[in-house]
Structures are given as C-alpha cells and as structure tokens.
Amino acid sequence: MGGMSVHGNRRRRSLAFICWLVFAAGLLVQLLSPHLKISNRAFVIPPKMAAGSNAIRLDEIVARQRRMQLLSILLTVSGALGLAFVYRDILIGAASRRNSEPVEEPASRDSTQSQYQGATRKTLDEENHT
C-alpha cells in the first residue's frame, strides 16, 4: 500500500461502509415508499389508504409521496457522491490509465511504403556520396 497507514485505511473503509449504507437506504426508501398511480389524469387511491373512518386528504398523501421521493433522491445522490469521493483514486487511476495507453492504429499500406521509400532513398544517397 502506497504509504497509507492502518488508521487511514480503517477510516477509509468505515467511510466507504457509511456511504454504501446511505446509498442503499436511498434505494430502500424508493422501493418501500407507496407509489401513487395515475389513471385518467387522476390519482388512484389504494383501498388500504381509503379504508378507515377518516376522510381522504389527497394533498397530504401527495405531500408525503413527494417527501419520500426527495428523501430517496438526497440519500441516493449523497451516497453516490460519497462513494465517488472515497474511490476517487481508483476512478481517476482507471481513467488516466485508459488515456495513457498508446493507441495502436493499423498503418495504411501507403504510409508504410512512403516510410520505406524514404529509408531506401536515403541509403542509396549515402552509398552514392561515399
């Protein structure tokens, strides 16, 4: 390991673990939140929400749904950004390795011939002048 102490490695692992938990919590909130269906430009209220003696407050249901979506977005994005920060060395290293690898392009026949013709001409000129 490139000079990273045991304490720094433990801290990085715990930070990565926390970021994974936050990211997973955001996905879990999204999966477990009740999703309102829309049919014919109107909300379809599930029977279990409509069951009960209280009047249905559509504005509260929609507000709750929006809060759950916002919470899910905040948790998921902050977890993803945290993971990107924790693993930045790996992410940047992979990108820089990809950019630094030499790109091998197949040489066209004409360019190869022109390279050899110049070399042959140079050799002949050297032989004539010596």
HEC profile of the chain: CCCCCHHHHHHHHHHHHHHHHHHHHHHHHHHHCCCCEEECCEEECCHHHHCCCCCCCHHHHHHHHHHHHHHHHHHHHHHHHHHHHHCHHHHHHHHHHHHHCCCCCCCCHHHHHHHHHHHHHHHHHHHHHC
- Tell me what pLDDT residue 36 has: 76
| 118: in domain | no
| 123: in domain | no
Contact 109, 38 (CB under 8 A): no
Question: CA 47 to CA 32: how far, in whole Å?
Answer: 17
| 124: in domain | no
| 122: in domain | no
| 109: in domain | no
Look at residues 91, 87, 107, 110 and name the one whose alpha carbon lies nearest to residue 99: 91
| 113: in domain | no
Q: How many domains does the chain have?
A: 1
| 128: in domain | no
Q: What range does the domain containing 53 cover?
A: 6-102
Contact 19, 86 (CB under 8 A): yes
Higher-pLDDT residue of 64, 124: 64
| 28: in domain | yes
Q: Each residue of 8-54: pLDDT tens digit?
A: 789 999 999 999 999 999 999 999 987 777 788 777 777 776 666 67
- Tell me what pLDDT residue 1 has: 46
